[in-house]
Structure 1
Amino acid sequence: MRGLFGALAGGERKDQGGSRYGLVDEMWADFFGGLRSSKSGVSVNWKSSLSNTTVLACCRVRADGHATVPWKLYQRTETTKKGRTVVGRREARDHPLYDLLATAPNEWMTSLEFRETQSLHVDLAGRSYAYKNVVRGEIVELILLDPGRVTKRVNKDYSRVYTLHGLDGTTETVSGDKIWEVKGPSWDTIDGLDVVRLAAEAIGLALATEESHAAFHRNGVRPSGMLSVEGAMNEAGLIRLAAWVRRNFGGANNTGRLMVVDRNANFVPMQMTGVDSQHIETRKFQVERICEVLRVMPIMIGFSGDKNATFASAEQMFNAHLTHTVRPIHRRFGGSGDLHLLSKDERKKGFYTGFVDGDFISPVLKDKGEYNKIALGGGGSPGWLTPNEVRAFDELPPVDGGDNLYVGINTAPIGPDGRPRTPDPKPGPPAPTGE
């Protein structure tokens, strides 16, 4: 048996979020929770959610924060210099995983495209799956899978078995070590929480409000005013009167002109009603609710509400976005990559994945220069970065003597060994002759 009944009979649970079409499929999907019909009457799933501009903007902001930052493979190193151990790191460019993470995980996707889609899957489906093509014990390719085409079964010993449903209708079952799964926040440690289903009411109300507003403008009548005259007028007379008013008083050039009409005509202007105002307020309120669910500050999607942010407050909001939104995304994917893409032996050897978080301050040269200055020891306290590590942020080659840490002192020239050069002593008075 295939499809829904086959999954139920086999005791398997198919991940939600896949595409379903047809009236019967929607009926069964609603019954078993695939499509969630909100109280507003709108069915909510990942596809309908993305048609809401707030959900789309939030997911894009989160995906950009994940995908536009370089992701590299590093190895911790230990060297002995003058009897002391110096701990550092190097880019593990000789490891086959380095190019998959930093450049291209497969032949048709860049690293940015791969992680961008991966982020959308985690945010809207609660999980993402990638097939690890392993050849002679090495991962040579990562193939991103549609979460709706993956069936996961968890055994009693918590081992995973995945069934992949191909585009041609065929299926293939693989063991858990062949799949790289990244979960979102989880309750049972097995599946990530389905944010779209949990926030169905907020998203559904936003969709319904947007839909009703569009229908109002499509079907409603909203003139700027009404001109009424005494007595009955046939259709031809009404058309002539409307054309005369539009010709003589319509448009910006006729603004402020005095209207003089006969038959005791009365002009009544029409303005926005309280219902219209509440409708707009509801839409603004739903933007904030969806931003709360997806952990994106409204200003990051261009929405400030009724609060006008100053330059200083906006800068703090951007910093808060990096701290509370982007950094957790990096830690989630980085930790998952260390666990599923590196073996235990490789982790013991010091290999780990890392995002170049310092890339965020690269566009701000003043802040970047101030950070580098303090990190090198220019603030009076011992520095925590070496000159070569700072140069590596901009992909610059290392220099001789650039692997030492420094503490802020009076300016002094640096010798070839990377240490401050002692100035030559000044000549003193001539020695006495003894006479």
Structure 2
Amino acid sequence: MQPQAAYQDKGGGVVISTPQELEAAMRGGSMTGAGLAVTPDRAMRVAAVYACVRIRSGVVANMPLHIKRRIDERTREDASDDPLWKIFRRRPNRWQTPAQFKRMMQAHLLLRGNAYAMIVKSRQSVIELIPMHPDRVKPRQNDDLSISYTYTRKDGKQITLAQSEVFHLVGLTLDGVVGVSVITYARETIGLSMSMDNYGASVFKNGARPSVVLKHPNKLGPEGVEFLRASLDNYRAGGESEGKALILEEGMSTEQLSMTSEDAQWIESRKFSRTDISMFFGVPPHMIGDTEKSSSWGTGIEVQTQGFLTFSAEDDLTTWEETINRDLIPEESNLYAKFNRAALVRADIKARWEAHVKALQWGVSSPNEIRALEDMNPREGGDVFYPPPNTAGGKSDGGGNEPAQDPESR
């Protein structure tokens, strides 16, 4: 028998059947009005929570992160010779890829408000980032306003790390030191969704909500009731009875039951909880499969998606860029981190090439720069910048040596 612990709150209850769930409930769980202890790990079992975390962490994981070097006020180049470039483009540590590392850290940030990684240096250069589970890290602001971190290892031993030894991503924060967890403020909504899922699973498992009622013209005796119950249990067990007709005796008849108001309210409540969870995580409902009100924001799904990129994804990207610049790059360095936001449209070939054509027409990019973005080799004569179409193309007005031409004609 596994140890069990029952918690009661406002008439509700939850049974925790494993030592791991008991520890999670005691350490990080918050009881809800529905009587459930909501922890980040338990919350991930809710489909809407999992979908929101997957989508937002996927944006950060899949977007290329460049380490750039400032040559002068107007010139930048890729710092591919710096160890930090290799960490975010090749291998952050000995077992993870950059996408795995960024996805995991972003998931920690979304679920717990903080994400931590130990900084490993050699000769003042960062060579590894070792992720640390947020539940095992306790930050503290010292009297000199610096921050120290106490990390509890799996063997129970605690080590203290200085601020310069920790890469610390912070989400929404109320004290400027640690971020607040979405689970803390959304626990009632998530707990309600978990309760409704449990209720629905119980209904389907036990057949507690019948769709058909059996009517008998007379009164059944105890033996008849037991015989009928055994027959129904055997019929509902499936197997060879699956899909066959139910045979009734002694003048019994069936009557179809319509959906009750409680059932309809339960279904509607599930929709509301899904929408509320999307709101907490800043993800438009249509992105997690709820398209019932797809035109409620702006003119449609396209505008909703753009709103997600502007207000949610951009928030994540800025947090990463500024944290890298603060924790991993010395102040006197000419390096900085920058996500390639143009990669957001790389799956949309039409939008991508329309942007390339405009960049060529207005002299923003050269053909070889466009080819480099598409992972193509340069071509001869492809380093020219075409003058904008509304200029004469002379040197005096900033144009090139020849008037603008169609790139395909060259």
- Please report the TM-score for the alignment, with normalisation by the length of structure 1: 0.76
Specify which of 149, 167, 179 is matched with residue 192 of structure 1. 179
Which residue does 2:108 correspond to in 1?
Answer: 121
Q: Using the TM superposition, give the Cα deviation of residue 42 of structure 1 relative to its aligned residue in structure 2, in angstroms.
A: 0.5
Q: How far apart in 2 are the matches of 1:316 and 1:360?
A: 15
1:110 and 2:91 are equivalent in the alignment:
no
On the 8 A contact 2:392/2:403 being kept in 1, the answer is no
Specify which of 357, 363, 379 is matched with residue 373 of structure 1. 357
Q: Using the TM superposition, give the Cα deviation of residue 91 of structure 1 relative to its aligned residue in structure 2, in angstroms.
A: 1.1
On the 8 A contact 1:74/1:92 being kept in 2, the answer is yes
Give the letter for the 1:134 counterpart. Answer: K
Larger radius of gyration: 1
On the 8 A contact 2:139/2:178 being kept in 1, the answer is no
Of structures 1 and 2, the one scoring higher in RCO (CA 8 A, sep 6+) is: 1
Specify which of 28, 31, 39 is matched with residue 33 of structure 2. 39
Gap runs ≥5 in structure 2? 1-17, 394-398, 405-410
SS of residue paired to 1:230: coil
Question: Are residues 303 and 134 of structure 1, via their aligned partners in 2, closer, same or farther at CA, if it must alter by over 3 Å?
Answer: same
Which residue does 2:9 correspond to in 1?
Answer: none
Q: Using the TM superposition, give the Cα deviation of residue 148 of structure 1 relative to its aligned residue in structure 2, in angstroms.
A: 1.3
Gap runs ≥5 in structure 1? 1-18, 79-84, 413-417, 424-435
Q: Using the TM superposition, give the Cα deviation of residue 210 of structure 1 relative to its aligned residue in structure 2, in angstroms.
A: 1.2
Matched residues, percent identical?
26
Which residue does 2:256 correspond to in 1?
Answer: 269
Specify which of 358, 361, 372 is matched with residue 392 of structure 1. 372
Which residue does 2:387 correspond to in 1?
Answer: 406
- Alpha-carbon RMSD across the aligned residues, in angstroms, is 3.4
On the 8 A contact 2:364/2:385 being kept in 1, the answer is no
Deviations for 1:320-366, whole angstroms, at most 9, x for unmatched residues?
222222121111111111111111111xx2x2111111111122121
Count matched residues.
372
Give the letter for the 1:384 counterpart. Answer: V
Q: How far apart in 2 are the matches of 1:187 and 1:340?
A: 21
1:67 and 2:61 are equivalent in the alignment:
yes
Which residue does 1:136 correspond to in 2?
Answer: 123
- Please report the TM-score for the alignment, with normalisation by the length of structure 2: 0.80
1:91 and 2:72 are equivalent in the alignment:
no
Deviations for 1:378-415, whole angstroms, at most 9, x for unmatched residues?
3xxx4434444433322334555626463125999xxx
On the 8 A contact 2:214/2:253 being kept in 1, the answer is yes
On the 8 A contact 1:75/1:352 being kept in 2, the answer is yes
Specify which of 187, 205, 226 is matched with residue 192 of structure 2. 205
Q: Using the TM superposition, give the Cα deviation of residue 236 of structure 1 relative to its aligned residue in structure 2, in angstroms.
A: 8.7
Question: Are residues 67 and 26 of structure 1, via their aligned partners in 2, closer, same or farther at CA, if it must alter by over 3 Å?
Answer: closer
Q: How far apart in 2 are the matches of 1:226 and 1:411?
A: 85
SS of residue paired to 1:353: strand
1:363 and 2:347 are equivalent in the alignment:
yes
On the 8 A contact 2:52/2:283 being kept in 1, the answer is yes
Deviations for 1:29-85, whole angstroms, at most 9, x for unmatched residues?
4xxxx321111111111111111111111000001011011111112334xxxxxx9
Q: Using the TM superposition, give the Cα deviation of residue 93 of structure 1 relative to its aligned residue in structure 2, in angstroms.
A: 0.6
Specify which of 330, 340, 354 is matched with residue 343 of structure 1. 330
Q: Using the TM superposition, give the Cα deviation of residue 115 of structure 1 relative to its aligned residue in structure 2, in angstroms.
A: 0.3
Specify which of 304, 321, 338 is matched with residue 354 of structure 1. 338
Give the letter for the 1:191 counterpart. Answer: V
Give the letter for the 2:337 counterpart. Answer: T
Q: How far apart in 2 are the matches of 1:341 and 1:63?
A: 21
Which residue does 2:48 correspond to in 1?
Answer: 54
Give the letter for the 2:187 counterpart. Answer: A
Question: Are residues 338 and 277 of structure 1, via their aligned partners in 2, closer, same or farther at CA, if it must alter by over 3 Å?
Answer: same
Q: Using the TM superposition, give the Cα deviation of residue 180 of structure 1 relative to its aligned residue in structure 2, in angstroms.
A: 0.7
Give the letter for the 2:39 counterpart. Answer: N
Q: Which of 355-364 and 291-300 deviates more?
A: 355-364
Deviations for 1:231-275, whole angstroms, at most 9, x for unmatched residues?
3453598589979x99xxx99898xxxx99996654321121110
Q: How far apart in 1 are the matches of 2:389 and 2:121?
A: 50
On the 8 A contact 1:132/1:179 being kept in 2, the answer is yes
Question: Are residues 75 and 392 of structure 1, via their aligned partners in 2, closer, same or farther at CA, if it must alter by over 3 Å?
Answer: farther
SS of residue paired to 1:39: coil
Q: Using the TM superposition, give the Cα deviation of residue 124 of structure 1 relative to its aligned residue in structure 2, in angstroms.
A: 0.9
SS of residue paired to 1:368: helix
On the 8 A contact 2:115/2:134 being kept in 1, the answer is yes
SS of residue paired to 1:344: coil
Matches within 5 A, 1:142-221: 142-221=129-208
